[in-house]
Amino acid sequence: MSAQYALAVDFGGTKVEAALVNATGQVLQGSRFRNPTGASSSSDELGERVLATAASALEMLPPDGVLDGIGIGCAGPITVREGLVSPLNVPAWRGFPLRDLVHTIAPDTPITLQMDGMCIALAEQWIGSARGSENVMGMIVSTGIGGGLILNGRTVAGPTGNAGHIGHVEVAGFDDPCACGGFGCVEAIASGPKTVAWAKKQGWSGSSGEELAVDYAAGDEIAVAAVQRSGSAIGQAIASATALVDLDIVAIGGGFIKVSPDIFNYIRAAIATRQQFDFVTKVQVVPSGLSADGPLVGAAALVHHKAMVPSF
């Protein structure tokens, strides 16, 4: 019997990745490829890297494999109906036709584009930390902060595909300017680059999230304050989201959430202040149950679990 695969593509502010993922959520060994993206890249450079990455993954389809579809997860905002993307941290792309671009490498294959946060939520409910839960938020804390929602067992996308974009929920007590035009958005406070930037303003001498993690573990006062600040802001945003839609569980992945396991303590402490609202404090906040393959597994879920994905 032929194995069924999805070509999964994940596009974000730091990198684009692609791989073949089977119907049980396993990434085919040797099929995972990546290239850098970044704020300094031109539109043509980004397009070339996406095509090269996706085509390399597709070339690894086994002779007896069947390509069921292509799933694309992209940082928001997006416009799902038209297949356009405008990732906030990639200024060269505003209203870029990413779905049509990727479709050129396999024009006869069904293709689905959704925000990367929805993909993470699908992946966590499928084979991650949120298995068995019907009211889920999947979150990414990395170059930016994204999120996606599953409520009453169904994904929620909204009319444009941007529902669940928790990175641009404003957090009380902060006024950090955000690239979206707002002030105090949790992405502007607690993403990896913004946390590093805040620490440097306080006199910290490092320059990356990895260095911040090392200094946090060593007890550096500024590094500790920076991680606590980030976790508290994330916790406040999750508490607000839970008050709005009554979440059971929030599963968080992404590179910066690994800065220290302690960040989850700061997140949970911020939520626990809502002591009169049991329906808020009940929410579980857990690390992603997936490896670094999580975003690709989520993009593949757009194909393998298409019944859960809203049609536009």
Q: Residue 173: what pLDDT?
A: 94
Q: Give strand ranges (E) for the chain.
A: 4-11, 15-22, 33-36, 66-74, 78-79, 84-85, 111-115, 136-141, 145-151, 154-156, 249-253, 284-287
Q: pLDDT at residue 60 above 90?
A: yes
Per-residue pLDDT reduced to its tens digit, 296-312: 999 999 999 988 887 76
Long-range own/partner contacts, residues 184-187 (CB < 8 A, 24 or more apart): 186/145, 186/233, 186/234, 186/236, 186/237, 187/88, 187/144, 187/145
**Contacts for 211 with CB less than 8 Å, ≥ 6 apart:** none
Q: pLDDT at residue 281 above 90?
A: yes
DSSP 3-state of 138: strand
Once rounded to an integer, what is the mean pLDDT over residues 142-154?
93
Q: Residue 311: what pLDDT?
A: 73
Q: Residue 312: what pLDDT?
A: 66
Q: Residue 103: what pLDDT?
A: 96
- With beta carbons less than 8 A apart as the criterion, state whether 298 and 289 touch: no
Q: pLDDT at residue 14 above 90?
A: no
Q: Residue 70: what pLDDT?
A: 98
Q: How many CA atoms lie within 13 A of 140 on its CB side?
A: 34
162 Ramachandran zone, left/alpha/beta (phi>0; psi -120 to 50): alpha
Distance between first and last Cα of the chain: 33
| CA 11, chain centre distance (Å) | 10
Q: Residue 1: what pLDDT?
A: 61
Per-residue pLDDT reduced to its tens digit, 159-208: 999 999 999 999 999 999 999 999 999 999 999 999 999 999 999 999 99
Per-residue pLDDT reduced to its tens digit, 78-113: 999 999 999 998 999 999 999 999 999 999 999 999
Domains of the chain: 4-118+293-308 (3.30.420.40), 129-287 (3.30.420.40)
In 1-143, alpha helices (H)? 43-58, 98-103, 116-127
Is-cis flag, bond preceding 62, omega within 30?
no
Q: What is the mean pLDDT of the chain?
A: 95
DSSP 3-state of 18: strand
